[in-house]
Amino acid sequence: MLSTRTTQPLLNLSQLPCLTPITIFQQLRSTSHHPLGPDMKELLTSYGMAIVKLQKFLRLKEAFLKQDRGRLNQEQNNPGHVNWDPINLSDWLLLEIDANIQIRQDQVTIALEMISPTLGSNSVLQINMGQGKTSVIMPMVAAVLADRDMLSRLLVPKALLSQAAQILQSRLRGLLGREIIHIPFSRRTQATVSLIQEYRKLHENILHNSGIILGVPEHILSFKLSGLQRLSDSKIKEAVDMIEMQEWMNKVCRDILDECDFTLAVKTQLIYPGGAQLAEVAMTILGLVSQHLKDLACDYPQSMDVMERNSTGFPIAYILRKDVEEALIRKIVGDICSGRTSILPLRDCTERAKQAIKIFISQERVEVPIAKRIAKLFPDIPNARKNVYLLRGLLVHGILILCLKKRWNVQYGLHHRQDPIAVPFHAKGVPSDQAEWGHPDVAILFTCLAFYYEGLSPSQLKQSLEAVLKSDHPATEYDRWTHGSTSLPEALRHWNVITVDDEGQVGEIWRHLCFTTTVINHFLSNFVFPLHAKQFATKLQASGWDVLLYNQSLRPGITTGFSGTNDNRRLLPLTIEQYDLPGLSHTNAEVLTYLLQKRNREYCVAADRDGRRLSEVGLLKYLRKSGIRILIDAGAFIMEMDNLTVAKAWLIEDPHAQGAVYFSEDNKPWRVPLLASPFADDMGNCVVYLDEAHTRGTDLKLPSDAKGALTLGLGQTKDHTVQAAMRLRQLGTTQSVAFVAPPEVHQSILDVCNKQAGIILESSDVVTWLLDQTCTNNRELQALYFSQGMDFCRRMQAAMTHKKFLSSSTHRKSYLDILQQPDGKVGVLMQELRQRRQQSQGYESITSSALEEVEQEREVAYEIEEEREVQRPRRPKALKFAGLHPSILKFAQGDFLALDDVTKASEILESTQLGLTYKIQGSCLVPRLFLSVEFTRTIKLKKDEKQDSYTRPVNWLLFNTRIEIALVIIPEEAEELIPIMRNLVSSDVHLIVYAAPVSRSMLNFNDLTYYALPSLPEGWKPPSWLPFELGILAGRLYFEFNEYHELLDRLHSVSETADDKNAKCSSVWAIAKSRLGFLQEWLSVCRQGQDITHTLMGYVCQDLQLRSDHPFFASTVITGQDADKGSGLGSIRYNSRKDKEEDYYSSDNGDEMMIMEEYEDEGSDHADDYAVGID
């Protein structure tokens, strides 16, 4: 400071610096380089307190003029500066002046506890929403902790990063003059030596300048894991720098966590994964799921809702009860053990082995003899044995059910700026940028489901279509694509008319097939999993336990955090404790009482009169009729629309609204920033949409009498719902909320509350349901909690035991392998974990599917690449045609057929390797069909070699219509017979052209009238046995439905679903099963090894029932609804609550397209409207 002696000359010369309140108050900073004397500091503090009082008076005046009684009472009841001294905490006084606030007593109490925890260690405080946690308390704490001795870090969820940065900038950058920076770090960061040095320099500068680092937990964990990854990669220099940097941060950092229940969630874990990626098994299992969902919805109407978007797409299922889960698993196990899939080669297994497999993949507890028998199965096919263990994981440990119950685009989905592998979602439409699902089976299942629900893009379908057209069998593969579609034009059903460069053609195909699972599976198998699903030799992992500073005796390295609830206190890492201040112990009950108040009891089901889920536009119409202009989408009801589309649609539905407030992508302003609009302080004339990602940590100045609609979703917890409801800050006084539940949630609430359908529900029932969902969620996460805790303890112990891992290769190897058992202080944590696990033995009986619910960082280090060596088969010697046999010539001229000169078709089937394996009786399948001798002569066989793979195609047939004798001949014989048959004026014998219907378009060959010499009599129809036997020999895959039952009778098929199955003779059943097994493999041989399970004969061979309404038999009907891609178009919902009928309906999305166009055309009517984004 300047003295009077030095200032007087400067004053006379008018050279003194200009003094303003800002320059004066800057001297009160705790970081000021010019410390004040006691008297001067007291004087300036008094000046500051006077400014605070003046600001308070002005706020009271404004509240009085606006008749805002709530705000007026709040100001009057806060005397200020009661439990803290502005002289000692001058930074807080500056914060009050700069933010135009007066800190409340409860905020001071919380801040002091955060600064100096009563426990003296890591702790979490529970604070009710709306208490100024982010806007007041966090800046207070950060200003005190950032004192050049401690590096203050504020860690927030990524979704709140932008908002937290704006608040901290406005609070701490002004009079306090604190620097705030955000330093992102991910696995993709090129961690060179120079970059690591710069990274450290940034931290050191912030520490020296008393600045604050704003970060997200993912970046903290990424830096930790990257250092260890460099160590495992033998990049010692980078590893030493990064690990030493991490140790330095552990000593000097002082962390503050916001939203601890989210940041420290057990679900969050960064992993570099390992394990086999068996995509084909996953797609096959999901195919079985799709087949059974419709029947299950009819059998268990109260336990499941199923909605199909088109006949060939994967249905959306809402699983509500355990009984339908068990029924689905039973059906899948039955399909597998009956040999209806290609997952396991069961034809050579004994009944005892099959029974062992059935027990192993269906029962949680397996006896030791069963497990040993499984370990010895398939000695020559190791992949098959792996599939057995994979099936146990999917079915017994609940991975399949877990994935089916997750919500696409809310909990998982595709990140369109990254590889086409499903990633976890932070909220609806918000994919994780750096994480994947840690368990490979989960990742594959979610990837399949994400593609099924989202469909292929035009470019993806074009890529797959091009591969089909270039394949060896384009006709067969393309027919697989199209056989189930009833809307695809006939002109596009033939592969040889398709041109991939014709955008119009490809676009038309895309509109009809983009959701077809067969098409999607082709793309996944050829372009996704081979390129992006890898195997990994090792893994490094970190979880919420690693977010916390844990240095044993080191200080100041502790972490304190906020949480709006203590529901998850049993799932907090043991390195941090929940500590609730006595004055805040009522927080949980207080918010629940808000929801139980009379004005908040409203509850409605978002369903139409038929019980079907409302469309998104339908929900907006309901809100308009109810007079509600705030939608808090905590349950992620809005799935198909993005936030801008919702805003536009809502403005159309509510023409009296003057604007729409919403969050745009990346939390950036869209049309007009909220603060720059006339609605910043008055949103009474706006519609407000808060998507799921912004139902936490968002603070808007909503009208004091505002009423909001809060959506509910399956699995929604109490904390999630309360956080969303408290976006209405005056919920406990004047604002209100109405709960909106889709049909599946409504049914779940009825089940939990044990109430019958038709009973009116209210908020008390919702609260009961929320508490049940919260307990269930915590119970299911126990297994993962124990796993993460034990892993953390082992890693900590390894670092303590092998302290020289940076310099000693022996220590380094032991450290990376984490082989040592814990002891010492880490052992205390291990002991407590074991005690908790013993107390939770009841939870262990529950499937540990939650253990798989982990996230992994995207970029991985170790990849196992498989190089395939192709061994070509030998080139056999072809036999020469010996000429037309005289007996065949005589038969063609109308004489009897000499049976000694021909071969029975049944003998050919019996002599194949397949026939010998299955011990098939060919006379039961093809008793009346004959073959020329030349038909059986193809190549020169070695001794004991069978000609399974060299069987000729069936193209020519001699048939005597009078005595009904059929002889299959070869093209060379037909060539010699054609001139002879042409000269016959009339004859009972005809030379008939035939081709096995291997696609739907070839069914016209089935009636044998395509071409014949001489012409067949008018109206002639072949005997029923002839198309059947030709189809068996030639490998027919398709037939008309009117042939179905006769075909079953001829095969002596026995359906497992028949009521009298148990009454049938076991030997007859065994013969039928063997016959179907042979036929399935024989048809595959005829089709050169192709999978035929997706065809009609594939269904028959798997003993699956077919109905006349199956897409296989559907006629081509082009509808306007099917012409456009959209999950809501032409939806089919199966719900047996409505007399077990199939209801076909069009959602409001069709009108939405028209409305959106109308909105664009009639923009002049809304010229004064605002679409307001929130920055």
CA–CA separation, 57 vs 924, rounded Å?
A: 101
pLDDT of residue 833: 60
The band of 553, judged by pLDDT with boundaries at 50, 70 and 90, is: very low
What pLDDT is attached to residue 621?
92
Q: What pTM did the predictor assign?
A: 0.66
- What pLDDT, on a 0 to 100 scale, did the predictor assign at position 893? 86
Q: Give 396-413 pLDDT, tens digit per residue.
A: 888 888 889 888 888 889
Helix (H, G, I), strand (E, B) or coil at 737: strand
* pLDDT at residue 40, rounded to an integer: 86
Q: How far apart are CA 1008 and CA 987, in angstroms?
A: 17
- Rama region for 1105: left / alpha / beta (φ>0; ψ in -120 to 50; rest): beta
The pLDDT tens digits for 1034-1045 are 889 888 888 888
1122 in helix, strand or coil?
helix
- Position 218 scores a pLDDT of 84
- Kindly tell me if the per-residue pLDDT of 800 is higher than 50: yes
Q: What is the mean pLDDT of residues 464-475?
A: 81
Beta strands in 986-1027 (DSSP E): 989-993, 1012-1013
Q: Does the N-terminal peptide bond of residue 369 adopt cis geometry, omega within 30 degrees of 0?
A: no
The one-letter amino acid at 338: S
Query: What is the number of other CB atoms lying within 10 angstroms of the CB of residue 963?
Result: 10
pLDDT of residue 641: 85
Can you give the pLDDT at residue 15?
63
Q: Residue 423 has what pLDDT?
A: 86
The predicted structure's pLDDT at residue 1152? 30
Provide the 3-class DSSP secondary structure of residue 659.
Answer: strand
With CA atoms as reference, report the closest residue to 496 among 483, 477, 510: 477
Q: What's the alpha-carbon Rg for the chain, to the nearest Å?
A: 37
- For the cut 60, the answer to whether the pLDDT of residue 425 exceeds it is yes
> What pLDDT, on a 0 to 100 scale, did the predictor assign at position 849?
45
Q: Model confidence at 3, in pLDDT bands (50, 70, 90)?
A: low
**pLDDT at res. 127:** 80
**Residue 1167's pLDDT band (cuts 50, 70, 90):** very low
Whole-number pLDDT of residue 31: 85
Q: For the chain, percent helix, then strand, then coil, each to nearest 5?
A: 50, 10, 40
pLDDT the model gives residue 373: 87
856 has pLDDT over 70: no
At residue 52 the predicted structure's pLDDT band, cuts being 50, 70 and 90, is: very high
Residue 212: pLDDT over 90? yes
Cα(first)–Cα(last) distance of the chain, in Å?
42
Contacts of 127-130 with C-beta under 8 Å, sequence gap 24+, read 127/562, 127/563, 127/564, 127/584, 127/587, 128/564, 128/584, 128/587, 128/590, 128/591, 128/726, 129/564, 129/591, 129/722, 129/723, 129/726, 129/729, 130/726, 130/729
Which of 356-360, 569-573, 722-726, 1088-1092 has the weakest average pLDDT? 1088-1092
Per-residue pLDDT, 1158: 32
* Percentage of residues of the chain with pLDDT beyond 70: 80
Q: What is the pLDDT of residues 650-668, one digit of tens each?
A: 999 998 888 888 887 655 5
* Six-digit token string for 658: 């003057």
Mean pLDDT over residues 939-955, rounded? 75
| Residue from 939, 632, 596 nearest 771 by CA | 596
State the chain's mean pLDDT as an integer. Answer: 79
User: In this structure, what DSSP letter does residue 484 have?
Assistant: T
Whether 746 has a pLDDT exceeding 90, the answer reads yes
Non-local CB neighbours of 559 within 8 Å, separated by 6+ positions: 122, 254, 255, 256, 257, 547, 548, 549, 576
- Average pLDDT on 81-92 reads 91
Q: At 394, is the secondary structure helix, strand, or coil?
A: helix
Q: What is the pLDDT of residues 887-938, one digit of tens each?
A: 998 898 888 888 888 899 888 888 888 888 778 888 888 899 999 988 888 8
Write b or e for each residue in 710-724: b if 16 or more Cβ atoms lie within 10 A of its Cβ, otherwise e.
Answer: bbbbbbbbbbbbbbb
Nearest to 854 by CA among 187, 217, 266: 266
Q: Is the pLDDT of residue 1026 over 80?
A: yes
- pLDDT reading at 1024 higher than 60: yes
Tell me the residue length of the chain. 1175
Equal fold, 4-272+544-578 vs 596-780 = yes
Q: What is the largest CA-CA distance in the chain?
A: 141
pLDDT at 1070: 67
CB 233 within 8 A of CB 187: no
Sorted by where each begins, the domain ranges of the chain are 4-272+544-578, 279-455+515-537, 596-780, 782-843, 886-1112
pLDDT at 710: 95
Structure tokens at 99: 């933010």
Architecture of the domain made up of 596-780: 3-Layer(aba) Sandwich (3.40)
Residue 1055 has pLDDT above 50, yes or no: no
Which of 743, 630, 736, 737 shows the shortest CA–CA distance to 691? 630
Q: Residue 448 — very low, low, confident or very high, per pLDDT cuts 50/70/90?
A: very high
pLDDT band, very low/low/confident/very high, at 966 (cuts 50, 70, 90):
very high
So what's the pLDDT on residue 139? 92
Structural domain 4-272+544-578, CATH architecture: 3-Layer(aba) Sandwich (3.40)
pLDDT bucket at 999, cuts 50 / 70 / 90: confident
Query: Per-residue pLDDT averaged across 494-521, rounded?
Result: 87
| pLDDT of the residue at 769 | 94
